[in-house]
């Protein structure tokens, strides 16, 4: 079955492996030749025969055919893309990743992040400073936030996954960035991480969340002061794979 030659009884299929499976097979993508009318279950057996190291993992592996989850009785057709991967990390926890013009309601967001099993929540919120500095402080009237919204939401979701990878005991995650004009004293961003207890890493997780938002989420701000307005630029340049 592993012969690369095609005939009337065989088809070509592209296999994709992710996470631990990619490491074990030393391959992310491979083209194989398999019998016609093969099912996902048959393909699982084929994969185990080709990669015996996956035998103990395969019963718990998820299959997707052409980017759609697939049961074992689904038939594979020629040139299908079939992905095998472990259950998505992060467990049953929920994520709220949002770019919004609406006022941030901390109580409502905390309520949304709270489960019956929740015993602790770490909350960070950023607030526009009205004054910056010492004896002669610089006064800020307000800030206007702008965002590349589709990418910003995707990056918030990425940050949520990074948090779950590092702190698996975190239950729910809220990452909300407000955009538009806001006056000094207004909350502009919030990070909430909840868990069953306070010793689960939620403090570090929330700190990591806001630090990463400042690094990789495409949001910019214009500052309004007594002397006019100016765009505030950051100094962090993300790597292309961030």
Residues lower than pLDDT 50 in the chain = 1-3, 89-91
| pLDDT recorded at residue 190 | 98
| pLDDT recorded at residue 4 | 57
Structure confidence by residue, pLDDT tens digits, 13-35: 999 998 888 989 998 899 999 99
Structure confidence by residue, pLDDT tens digits, 79-96: 999 999 876 544 457 899
φ/ψ of 43, rounded to 5, equals -70, -35
Angle CA 43–47–51, to nearest 5 = 175
φ/ψ of 16, rounded to 5, equals -120, 135
CB of 122 within 8 A of CB of 205? Answer: yes
Pairing of strands 29-35, 10-17: antiparallel
Provide long-range contacts, Cβ within 8 A and 24+ apart, for 191-194.
Answer: 191/123, 191/124, 191/125, 192/109, 192/110, 192/113, 192/121, 192/122, 192/123, 192/124, 193/121, 193/122, 193/163, 193/167, 194/113, 194/114, 194/115, 194/118, 194/120, 194/121, 194/122, 194/170
- Which neighbouring-strand residues pair with 146? 220
| pLDDT recorded at residue 26 | 92
Identify the structural domains of the chain with CATH numbers, from first to last.
10-85 (3.10.20.30), 95-232 (3.90.1170.40)
């Amino acid at each position: 079955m592993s012969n690369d030659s095609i005939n009337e009884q065989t088809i070509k299929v592209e296999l994709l492996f992710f996470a631990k499976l990619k490491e074990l097979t030393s391959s992310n993508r491979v083209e194989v030749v398999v019998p016609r009318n093969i099912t996902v279950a048959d393909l699982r057996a084929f994969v185990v025969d080709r990669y015996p190291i996956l035998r103990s993992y395969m019963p718990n592996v998820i299959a997707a055919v052409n980017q759609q989850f697939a049961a074992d009785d689904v038939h594979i057709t020629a040139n299908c893309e079939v992905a095998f991967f472990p259950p998505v990390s992060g467990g049953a926890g929920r994520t709220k990743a949002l770019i919004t013009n609406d006022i941030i309601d901390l109580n409502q967001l905390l309520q949304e992040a709270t489960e019956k099993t929740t015993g602790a929540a770490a909350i960070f919120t950023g607030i526009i400073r009205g004054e910056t500095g010492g004896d002669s402080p610089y006064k800020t009237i307000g800030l206007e936030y702008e965002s590349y919204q589709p990418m910003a939401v995707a990056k918030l979701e990425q940050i949520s996954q990074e948090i779950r990878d590092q702190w698996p005991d975190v239950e729910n995650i809220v990452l909300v960035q407000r955009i538009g004009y806001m006056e000094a004293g207004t909350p502009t961003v919030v990070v909430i991480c909840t868990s069953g207890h306070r010793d689960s890493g939620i403090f570090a997780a929330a700190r990591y969340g806001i630090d990463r938002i400042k690094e990789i989420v495409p949001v910019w701000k214009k500052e309004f002061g007594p002397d006019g307005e100016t765009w505030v630029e950051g100094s962090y340049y993300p790597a292309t794979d961030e």
